[in-house]
Amino acid sequence: MAHEVQNFNLDQKFDFNAGIKKSIMTVLLIGTALLVVGVVLAMMGGGHAEEGAEAGGHAFHWYQRLFANVWINNVYFTGIAIVGVFFFAIQYAAQAGWSAPITRVMLAFGNWLPIAAILMIASFFVMGHDLFHWWHAELFDKASSEYDAIIDGKGAFFYWPMEKGTFPVFYIARMIIFFGFWVFFFTKFKKIAAAEDQLGGTSHWFKMRSWSAYFLVFFAVSSSVSAWDWVMSIDTHWFSTLFGWYVFSSWFVAGLSAITLLVIFLKGKGYLEMVNENHVHDLGKFVFGFSIFWTYLWFSQFLLIYYANIPEESVYFIERLSSDVYGGFIFVNIAMNFVLPFLVLMTRDAKRHGIFLKLVCTLLIVGHWVDFFLMVQPGTLGHNGGIGFMEIGMFLVYGSAVALVVLGGLAKGNLIPKNHPMLEESYHHHI
């Protein structure tokens, strides 16, 4: 290792001290309080949770809004966690050198995956019948007045090999397989990284590159299918052939924003001395570029459906744009996830300074939560949805919990891969 790199502390570990924990716990308590207030208001009939109101043809109950919020945050923060592992794997598969000092930051987000798996699977068993219209047996009974030929035609995708309308074995199996392999790859990456720190050499880097390639192939399939399962199947009649890409792009921008915020946070605390404005610039370019990519997919999906004007396709946007509850959030979504990031990060200097990136990345993390809110709530709650105390509180609770888990995991190992063969290249990185 060259003398310049050796001048840095390559054995540094993140100190997850009481002050940082106290700040996160404060946000967690505020979120819990807001969530409790939101639940109480919903139980009392406050906001949109009106007694006797209907959503999707069935009587609406206050707890359905709670269920929808749990599902939104489960899916959203699962996406941020898996994107951390995905971006980590990309660095090795692409043989990237610039990112060597921050790869452990990316990987740390995967610590949320085992908890996400438990929450997703448990919440599906508890809440699935209320969230997913296709989990109603009468839809598959040709003798029933509620029989739905379209949903019946899609039934095997959820229920095979069981009888339609009984238990969604195929759906649950996919969820378990996806999470099982995601956690497996994350654990494998952590083990190889720990061995590299202890033993050195280049063999672990080559091993990581191979496993990263395997993971990326699996992720390419599982990320799209999970988007169909967990989000698109809520609006069971509707489908979009680019929906998997669209959900991935929303996950990816949110994940990139979280990674960037954490790198800037660590730099501010005196860690990651090797990381300079050139590395930050690269992260800023990723955030800027993929915000435009998300907008491209959003507009492509919207324009094709709008132009074709086929009723079974256009209903997805009509029920959102024409709604008093959701209509305004369509434009909030575009403003937060494209207009403001595009204008703020357009210049080179903006992408190299933490103050601009902290503003934009925070905006994007909230903005893409709004994106998932628009994907989930209209199909699960109808006009009984909205953003209130319950939604804000749940977002803060999940965000704080993820922060505790990610930072706790980051503190357990070396912050910098000290034996990474491209660390010297990263030190000289300049753009």
| pLDDT class of 58 with cuts at 50, 70, 90 | low
Q: Is the pLDDT of residue 395 over 50?
A: yes
How far is residue 106 from each of residues 90, 259, 279, 379, measured CA to CA in Å? 11, 6, 14, 33
Check pLDDT > 90 for residue 6.
no
pLDDT in tens, 91-111: 999 999 999 999 999 999 999
The answer to whether residue 51 scores a pLDDT higher than 50 is no
Reported as half-sphere exposure (CB side, CA atoms, 13 A), residue 157 has a value of 14
Most confident of 5-14, 143-152, 175-184: 175-184
Q: pLDDT at position 269, please?
A: 93
pLDDT level of residue 53 (50, 70, 90 thresholds): very low
Element (H, E) at 58: strand 58-59
pLDDT tens by residue, 306-337? 999 888 889 999 999 998 999 999 999 999 99
Give the separation between CA 376 and CA 195, rounded to whole angstroms. 42
Does residue 47 have a pLDDT over 50? no
pLDDT tier, 407 (very low <50, low <70, confident <90, very high otherwise): very high
pLDDT grade, residue 408 (50/70/90)?
very high
Mean pLDDT value across residues 411-417: 92
Average pLDDT, the chain: 92
Using pLDDT thresholds of 50, 70 and 90, give the confidence band for residue 55. Answer: very low
**In contact, 85 and 110? CB cutoff 8 Å:** yes
Taking the C-alpha atoms of residue 267 and residue 355, their distance in angstroms, rounded to an integer, is 13
Note the pLDDT of residue 182.
98
Q: What is the pTM of this model?
A: 0.94
Asked if 222 and 182 count as a contact pair (C-beta separation under 8 A), the reply is: yes
The tens digit of pLDDT for each residue in 231-275 reads: 999 999 998 999 999 999 999 999 999 999 999 999 999 999 989
Query: How many whole angstroms separate alpha carbon 194 and alpha carbon 416?
Result: 11
With 0-12 CB in 10 A as exposed, 13-18 as middle and 19+ as buried, what is 304?
middle
> Is the previous residue joined to 161 through a cis bond, with omega within 30 degrees of 0?
yes
By residue count, the chain amounts to 431
Does residue 87 have a pLDDT over 90? yes
pLDDT the model gives residue 5: 60
Whether residue 284 contacts residue 357, with contact meaning beta carbons closer than 8 Å, is answered with yes
Tokens read off for 358: 């902290």
